[in-house]
Amino acid sequence: MITTVGTLQTGLQAGKRRTRQRRAVLEAVRNCMTHPDAQWVYEQVRKELPRISLGTVYRNLDLLSREGFIQQLKIGGSYTRYDGDVHSHSHITCRRCGMIENVDVPPLSSVIEEAISTTHFSDVTPQLDFYGICMRCRQQAN
């Protein structure tokens, strides 16, 4: 069995050293389907490495996202969330409970490209997100 923990399939390495802490953080984000925040990752990783600190989790989440191993999501709530899926996709956030789900959206039309061209910005990337009410919240007749 080949283990690729802490390494992309291409053999790329995050940071300069391959530490247990970094591998565990990447592993946790990748295995989580719910777009976790730093606290969740911390609690998860602590099951394996009880002495890891929250600061280390933050530092690694930052490094991993800067180097493109994971994605930082600054949508909706009051804290930053992470996504182990780095392929380009959108997110839909529940306005009531904050739950995030993935949405596959086709490439944005040339109409939007035109809108961008009216600005004086360069290297522009669009980010399309959605907000709504999830099924679970809708069913809870409050």
Binding site for DNA (CB under 7 A): 15-22, 37-39, 49, 51-56, 58-60, 62, 78-80
Minimum distance between the CB of residue 7 and DNA, rounded to whole angstroms?
A: 10
Distance CA 106, CA 73 (A): 20
Out of 122, 140, 141, 142, point to the residue binding a second copy (CB under 8 A).
122
Cβ-contact 17, 7 below 8 angstroms = no
Q: Least distance (Å) from DNA to the CB of residue 128?
A: 22
Chain residues 1-60 in contact with a second copy, contact rule CB under 8 A: none
* Paired tokens of 102: 């993935």
Structure tokens at 13: 């390495």
Residue 32 interaction partner, one of a second copy, DNA, none, beta carbon < 5-8 Å per kind: none
Smaller CB separation from a second copy, 8 or 134: 134
Residue 134 touches which of a second copy, DNA, none (Cβ within 5-8 Å per kind) = a second copy
**Two structure tokens written together for 101:** 């789900």
Do residues 42 and 54 lie in contact, with contact meaning Cβ atoms separated by under 8 Å? yes
User: Minimal CA–CA distance to 24: which of 60, 55, 54?
Assistant: 60
